[in-house]
Structure 1
Amino acid sequence: MTDPSLPRLTGAVALVTGAGGLVGAGIARRFAQAGAAVVLHHRPGGRPVADLADAVEAMGGAARPVEADLTDERDCHRLVEAAAAWRGRLDALVHSAGIQPVQDLTDMTTEDWRRMSDTNVTSAFCCTQAAAAVMSAQGGGTVTHIASIEGSHPAPGHAHYSAAKAALIMFARAAALEYGPRGIRVNTVSPGLIHRDGIDEAWPDGVRRWTRSAPLTRLGRPEDVGNACVFLASDAAAWISGHDLVVDGGVSARPTW
């Protein structure tokens, strides 16, 4: 069932990487509810997306799961090619795949740093390059990368994550500059803290501090991120490119002094 509150993406094909994750699944659902056919990426050995595909199809949508290792350049290109071949086009790429380990900078290894960079940034480069080749040939498309407010507001234990997200935001701006003449818009969405089952018990102090600091007084939901991504992929955002859309309930507006 489509959601009339969303911009219409009827007939569009969207590839969502990291659809096996909480946020990625939420994004995929909102694209389906906007009328798009959705390619659901999941990593080898990761959470399967068969249930999500079934849910999309149960609501009258179309979904196709595809497995790929996004730390492998060839697999990134294979994923994009498979997505485009499914229905003969690719209108939107939403790159949500990534990792977020917590590690003190003092104990962080070069391998830890490289793994973060390869998984969160290099994969975005490879998928964007592959998608842009397809979109250029068909006259345009959109690319949206899921960054984070930590790209501009670092947190303890997240030095490599914050650096990767900052790099992702700047990469998207650079890609917007170069791919714009081909009709390709590139943006980022930077979420704040997203609710997941068990977070209130696992991190009660953090949840309390967040809800006190956020003007909208709640944690985000996966569909909040999905709504932003659907908007950026739609004609309603036809003149928006190179932008970082912050989706954090207003917490970034809170003074730090």
Structure 2
Amino acid sequence: MLDLTGTTTLVTGASGGIGRGIALRFAEAGSAVAVHYRRGRASADALVERIEADGGTAEAFAADLSDDGECHRLVAAAAAWTGRLDTLVNNAGVQPVEPLPGMSAESWRTVLETNLTSAFSCTQAAAGVMTGRGGSVVHIASIEADRPAPGHAHYSSAKAALVMHARAAALEYGPHGIRVNAVSPGLIDRPGLGDAWPDGVHRWEKAAPLGRLGTPADVANACLFLASPLAAWITGHNLTVDGGVSAHPTW
């Protein structure tokens, strides 16, 4: 049921971190993976080489997702590559830290366009390709969608809107056989995080019932489930992947 052989998956922001983990997991499941990147060409090419070395199929695609036309061009190119598009994972995003009182409108717009509007545009384009055959769209949101952090007002707002977009898109694209869901990760480990933010990592590990940070593979597995036949009757859902932190009392 988790065998996606013969399918094609587009992962935005796949050149590093969570996106890389998602691309590797879908390739492992047999899907041909369109690896999107904006500037990280070397990382994207290395990921493609890794997937091909493991016996998978992948191709790198460049696009600036702040441009609606580029979003549509990316989706069209990914679908033309294999002749189909079965899954879109909207992972591309940014997470700057900037206090709200001094935040500029330009900063606000940049974060919303990168994290939210790009997903709207790519989903709209993908739905045009998937209509008639069906497909799955997965947004990478965040537990910050309902648990804001200081300095993340723009990011938290974008992720909250992204969760609602998944629900709205599920409602309107469902009749065309297209399922739309969101995955909301907690703190995901990355190289150097423990050194750069030791206090935050310690607090997270203490608060999480499972006692650890997440990994890109944890997020990737949730995406794979939602894209697979196992989730054939799941749409409009936000799947939290945070080691149980959201279940921890806040008082």
Counterpart of 1:25, as a letter, is R
Q: What residue is the counterpart of 2:74 in the other structure?
A: 79
CA distance in 1, matches of 2:120, 2:159: 13
How many residue pairs get matched? Answer: 251
**Structure-2 change in CA distance of 1:167 and 1:47 (3 Å):** farther
**Structure-2 change in CA distance of 1:245 and 1:206 (3 Å):** same
Q: What residue is the counterpart of 2:163 in the other structure?
A: 169
Per-residue Cα deviation, 1:185-235 (whole angstroms, up to 9, x for no partner) = 000000000001111110000000000000000000000000000000000
CA distance in 2, matches of 1:47, 1:111: 29
Q: Does the alignment pair 1:238 with 2:238?
A: no
Query: Of the candidates 53, 60, 80, which is equivalent to residue 55 of structure 2?
Result: 60
Structure 1 segment 120-135 matched on structure 2, within 5 A? 120-135=115-130
Q: What residue is the counterpart of 2:204 in the other structure?
A: 210
Counterpart of 1:128, as a letter, is T
2:239 aligned counterpart, secondary structure: strand
TM-score (norm 1): 0.96
Q: What residue is the counterpart of 1:11 in the other structure?
A: 6
Counterpart of 1:235, as a letter, is P
CA distance in 2, matches of 1:99, 1:107: 19
Stretches of 4+ moved more than 3 A in 1?
Answer: 44-48
- Once the two structures are TM-superposed, the CA of residue 44 in structure 1 deviates from its matched residue by 3.5
**Structure-2 change in CA distance of 1:210 and 1:46 (3 Å):** farther
Q: What residue is the counterpart of 1:226 in the other structure?
A: 220
The answer to whether the Cα contact below 8 Å between 1:21 and 1:47 also exists between their aligned partners in 2 is: no
Structural RMSD (CA): 1.0
Q: Does the alignment pair 1:26 with 2:21?
A: yes
The answer to whether the Cα contact below 8 Å between 2:16 and 2:43 also exists between their aligned partners in 1 is: no
- Once the two structures are TM-superposed, the CA of residue 48 in structure 1 deviates from its matched residue by 3.4
